[in-house]
Amino acid sequence: MQVRLEQVTKTFAGSKNTQATAVKELDVTIASGKLVGLLGPSGCGKSTTLFMIAGIHDVSEGHIYFGDHDVTALPSDKRGVGIVFQNYALYPHLTVWDNIAFPLLNAKEMKKRLKQRFAELSPPMANFKAYIQRLVEEAAKLVELTAYLDRKPAELSGGQQQRVAIARAIVKNPSILLLDEPLSNLDARLRVQTRDEIKRIQKQTGITTVFVTHDQDEALSICDEVIILKDGVLQQQGPPQEVYDHPANQFVAEFLGSPQINLVGGSIKANKLYLGNEEWFALPESLSDQPVNIGVRYENIRPDRENRKQAFEATVTSIARTGGTSTVQVRLADGQPMRLHRDSDDVLQEGDRVRLYARPRTVYIFNAEGEKILQC
């Protein structure tokens, strides 16, 4: 189901009549059947946005639509969403089976709907209990936990617990699946495994899924689309690679990508870009003279072996070799540092003078306010 947020604002009442705005006039559309990442640093309003979609938080202003249906005033239990929390929120005293079956057996509306669906089953099933059993087993199978149905949560690993939580959320066949930092409590290896699981489960079920994370790696690797927030304000929305290659502003450029993008001070004078004090290349568009920040990603800086006009000089200050690649730190003529990736068998030495270059379309030029003014 498509989810549409229209001018959604959330303010929290602080102490002494102050108000904190967590989300500000957010306009986003989440396409049906997609896995969409809500991404941003902590406190950017991404979890608040998720909770508003879930109906856990009220919306201060604006509207939320599921399909054509305005759900802004609808209580959370009527929205038909499934939710998964960072700490799994499993019922610790119940087995995996009981945890997954919990929403089916303990919610009045749900049970009524299930009974109806049970009555209309074709071929009909012998009894309702067997039907519940089948639903639970289907969900368990989807998350590959069939062998663990009798265990208590404490007897499972973190990744398995999170999969139980996912099974519990999808067993009710929700129209939207909401995941709040589902991987943050897992160790690095499990995190990669579980995120691929999430991707697989999402593709298999086709449920529209919103995935909150502060980890750009996670978002970039599994999401169909990312929505980047900062201080409750939408920064950019789009497919991960698109956003990575064409960041809308300095914040997005800095936030996405690890290691973090190189940002070097420079200026525009007479329509020429200066890297530090050194002239770099002529701009294809005319822009007014101003100081700028120039962003170039590590992988886009290469040694110039063809004596290009658009190369610049630098001195190697250190080389950190890490397996197959090494990170080379250089100093520009005016002393500003910059880093790039090289193969480890490169023959660079500390103190070497090198000529480097980057293709203009991989160079982002930001003004003093952090807005992108040009990407050739």
Q: Which is nearer to another protein, 79 or 297 (CB)?
A: 79
Closest distance of CB 86 from another protein, Å: 6
Q: Any contact of residue 250 with another protein (CB under 8 A)?
A: no
Q: Which helix (H) or strand (E) holds 225?
A: strand 225-230
CA separation for the pair 270, 280 (Å, rounded) = 12
Interface with another protein (CB under 8 A), residue from 66, 88, 131, 274:
88
Q: Any contact of residue 93 with another protein (CB under 8 A)?
A: yes
Q: Any contact of residue 101 with another protein (CB under 8 A)?
A: no
Q: Any contact of residue 179 with another protein (CB under 8 A)?
A: no
Interface with another protein: number of residues (CB under 8 A): 34
SS3 (DSSP) at 246: coil
Q: Any contact of residue 134 with another protein (CB under 8 A)?
A: no
HEC secondary structure over 261-319: CEEEEEEEECCEEEECCEEEEECCCCCCCEEEEEEECHHHCEECCCCCCCEEEEEEEEE
Interface with another protein (CB under 8 A), residue from 33, 41, 43, 158:
158
CA separation for the pair 56, 70 (Å, rounded) = 16
Interface with another protein (CB under 8 A), residue from 7, 106, 193, 344:
106
x-marked contacts with another protein along 314-353 as a string, rule CB under 8 A: ----------------------------------------
Burial zone of 6 (CB within 10 Å; 0-12 exposed, 13-18 middle, 19+ buried) = middle
N- to C-terminal Cα separation, the chain? 38
Q: Any contact of residue 77 with another protein (CB under 8 A)?
A: yes
Contacts of 173 (CB under 8 A, 6+ apart): none
Q: Which is nearer to another protein, 161 or 262 (CB)?
A: 161
**Structure-block tokens of residue 155:** 């007897």
Interface with another protein (CB under 8 A), residue from 62, 82, 257, 295:
82
Q: Any contact of residue 107 with another protein (CB under 8 A)?
A: yes
Q: Which helix (H) or strand (E) holds 372?
A: strand 372-375
Interface with another protein (CB under 8 A), residue from 2, 11, 21, 87:
87
CA separation for the pair 169, 177 (Å, rounded) = 7
Closest distance of CB 15 from another protein, Å: 14
Q: Which is nearer to another protein, 81 or 226 (CB)?
A: 81
> Judged by CB under 8 A, which stretch of 75-83, 211-219, 307-315, 360-368 contacts another protein?
75-83
Interface with another protein (CB under 8 A), residue from 110, 316, 373, 374:
110
Q: Any contact of residue 85 with another protein (CB under 8 A)?
A: yes
Structural contact between residues 63 and 7, judged by C-beta atoms closer than 8 angstroms: yes
**Structure-block tokens of residue 211:** 């995935």
**Structure-block tokens of residue 303:** 């040694």
CA separation for the pair 40, 44 (Å, rounded) = 6
Q: Which of 338, 162, 155 is nearest to 262 (CA)?
A: 338
Q: Where on the chain is the footprint of another protein (CB under 8 A)?
A: 54-56, 76-79, 81-83, 85-93, 102-103, 106-110, 152-154, 158, 161, 168, 172, 185
